[in-house]
Amino acid sequence: GASGYAGITGGGERLGIGITNPSASFHIVSGSKYLRATTSSSTPQIIQSDGTRIVYVGINGDQLPCLIAQSDHSLVFGVNNAEKARFSATTGNLLIGGTTDYSRLTIKGSDGVPPSSGTTATGIQRIYSSNNVALDFGVNGSASPFPGWIQVSDTTNQATHYPLVLQGSGSN
């Protein structure tokens, strides 16, 4: 790059900062770090690199929005400056709430017992319907023998439980 350089090139279509020959509509270079933004009508994109890790936000060749780690590093998602989930670079597995990669989907949550009243979920995972029926999964890792549990209940009153059918009629 060109240290201290800022200029417009390509007939006024490209702005470069720290680079004399920008390769995108907006291109900033500082040593090995760079940020490029392209406003092409077919594939708008932003690419950022620190010289080792590269992240791409844009429209892919199938015209779908995408967020891609273009280097061999995990892709991390966070809120309030704290990691909440990641895609592992080595396995492609999704990890939520933890950083240890166990399977295609690993969810780490708090210990809890099945709720018997109220509306607060105490499990690690919840699947629920628009009819307020929830299937909760949890682990009580603080009390021996450390049971895992599954419960079906009403999300508006968890004292109301429903049957858990493992093989419905007509199933093989």
| pTM for this model (two decimals) | 0.66
Residue 142 has pLDDT above 90, yes or no: no
Residue 138: both structure tokens together: 């949890």
Tell me if residue 172 falls in helix, strand or coil: coil
pLDDT for 1 equals 47
pLDDT for 41 equals 58
Percent of the chain whose predicted confidence (pLDDT) is above 70: 88
Pairing mode, strands 105-107 and 94-96: parallel
CB-count exposure of residue 88 (10 Å: 0-12, 13-18, 19+): middle
